[in-house]
Amino acid sequence: MAKAEEYVVGIDVGSSKVAVLIGKRDGKGGIEIAGRGQAPNRGTRRGNIVNIEAAVEALKAASEEAEVMAGVEISRAFVGVAGADVRCVNSRGMVSVARKDREIARSDIQRALDAAQSAALPSDREILHAIPQEFVVDEQGGIADPAGMLGSRLEVLVHLVTGQAARSKTLLTCVNRAGIEVAEMVFEPLATGEAVLTPDEKDLGVLLVDIGAGTTAYAVYNDGEVQHSGVLPVGAGHFTNDLAMVLRTPYAEAERIKLKEGCCLLSMVQEEEGISVPAVAGGAARVVPRREICEILQPRAEELLTLLRDELGRSGWEGQLRGGIVLTGGGAQLDGLLELTGQVLAASVRYGLPHGLGGLVDVLNSPGWSTAAGLIRYAIHAEGSAERRPKRAGFSVRGMVGSLRNVFSDLL
Ligand SMILES: Nc1ncnc2c1ncn2[C@@H]1O[C@H](COP(=O)(O)OP(=O)(O)OP(=O)(O)O)[C@@H](O)[C@H]1O
Ligand SMILES: [Mg+2]
């Protein structure tokens, strides 16, 4: 009989689909994907749930599919959050070292972290993550774990991720109603980064871009830790909308054309071949040159990439990405996007696929699974953080999400 602790579950409630992955520990620190399930999700728009019934149905369908494949029942899962309401800021906390002999204790570190999180937060928002980037002891920076060092002033730089409390609660309700307890809510690009980035890229400076259906989530890593992150309210679904509007064709046809013929870089479209475009309401189909499709998609892609470039500029990371840019998410597969990204953001670009997990090859070859795979990797990392990741040891704000869960389960 399989034991529940052998399994780790990741659930990505995306704008187009719910994706569930069940990972099985191999007993040697590795993890194999034992089950996967996917169901179309009509309950989420721009990363936020707009129809609870529909989201719960999708959650149930996807988790049941994964359960059947893995031969286990899911009771607890790590769940991704990436609504357009999520905001990320860097914050500082500073305290005087308490002990007379000036040796820094864990309690000093905790007080510094508390100070960094005490910055005024509107009452409708909550902290999803508080990730220490570095500690500064007196004037010396770049310290990962200051416990036991000597100093009189301890400072910490923290990356704070906040979301609207009501939105997280809605997501929590949906997952609970599907019969699953939430182990932790994880801001999606942080999970996705665990699945698709290499340690070298994270050290050198890399921009991770997850292009979903309704949103584009991004994170900048440097020195091994997340430095900046956010969500843009533009995703691959907007490309399809543009096609449907301009070509005056149904959304489903526009999506089919985008997947089969879409390209967002005019210089890559050579042939003058035509594409048959069905009209709305059963009118006669007409033939549209492929270049015209590209002329509709390219401005949207440029808009998205310009928004990203502006974000990099604002946060001071433009021109600093020695590890390049990694594109993932279903929308990353649009022809020409890789090349256009390299041009607009002036950096080297590659596709990111989930790595570090064994098992189902179709999952590992598809960028649409990156977030669910990342949630499993994140869960394993979080567990092992005490031994392997001194930067995060004991600094998690998981307790907060846990208490939210408990309060909320009482209301159900
Ligand atoms: N080959 C392809 N070319 C272009 N776009 C694609 C391709 N395959 C999938 N997409 C697009 O990717 C999107 C789905 O991506 P993904 O599964 O990552 O989204 P999601 O996680 O459900 O959404 P979100 O992250 O915004 O909540 C769809 O809009 C789809 O059109
Ligand atoms: Mg997604």
* pLDDT mean by block of 10 residues, the chain; 412 residues: 77 96 89 95 89 97 97 96 90 95 96 88 89 94 95 96 93 96 96 96 98 96 94 96 95 96 93 82 84 96 98 95 97 98 97 89 86 95 54 33 36 32
Q: Is residue 207 part of a domain?
A: no
For residue 367, the CA-to-ligand 1 centroid distance in Å is: 9
| Cα separation, 309 vs 252, whole angstroms | 31
Protein residue whose Cα sits closest to atom 4 of ligand 1: 334
Q: Who's near 324: CB < 8 A, 6+ residues apart? A: 201, 206, 207, 347, 348, 349, 350
Is position 146 within any domain?
Answer: yes
CATH number at residue 117: 3.30.1490.110
Probe residue for ligand 1, chosen from 12, 13, 15 as the CB with the greatest number of ligand atoms within 8 Å = 15
**Contact 249 CB / ligand 1 (< 6 Å):** no
| H-only helix segments in 218-318 | 236-247, 251-261, 290-315
Closest by alpha carbon to 177, among 57, 281, 319? 57
Residue 312: inside a domain: no
Range of the domain at 269: 237-293
CATH number of the domain to which 277 belongs = 3.90.640.10
Specify the pLDDT at position 209.
98
Q: At how many degrees (to 10) do helices 236-247 and 290-315 cross?
A: 140
Q: Quickly tell me which residue has 């905001």 as its tokens.
A: 87
Assigned domain for 159 exists: yes
Residue owning the nearest CA to atom 29 of ligand 1 = 213
Count structural domains, the chain.
2
Identity of the residue numbered 146: P
Cα–Cα distance list, 224 to 49, 72, 110, 205, 367 (Å)? 32, 35, 21, 8, 22
Give the Cα separation of 192 and 143 in Å (integer): 26
Last residue of a domain, one of 116, 132, 163: 163
368 lines ligand 1 (CB under 6 A): yes
Does residue 395 belong to any structural domain of this protein?
Answer: no
Q: 349 alpha carbon to ligand 2 midpoint, in Å?
A: 19
**Ligand 1 within 6 A of 193 CB?**
no
* Ligand 1 atom at shortest distance from the alpha carbon of 17: 22
Is this model's pTM higher than 0.85 or not?
A: yes
Q: Among 175, 186, 255, 256, which Cα is nearest to 217's?
A: 186
Helices 251-261 and 290-315 cross at an angle (nearest 10°) of 80
- For residue 28, what pLDDT is reported? 83
Yes or no: say if 183 and 78 are a contact pair by the CB < 8 Å rule. Answer: yes
The pLDDT value given to residue 396: 34
For residue 193, is it within any domain? Answer: no
Which of 293, 313, 336 finishes a domain? Answer: 293
Residue 340 lies in a domain: no
161 lines ligand 1 (CB under 6 A): no
20 and 74 in contact (C-beta within 8 Å)? Answer: yes
Query: Of 134, 163, 192, which residue sits at a domain end?
Result: 163
Whether 217 is covered by a domain: the verdict is no
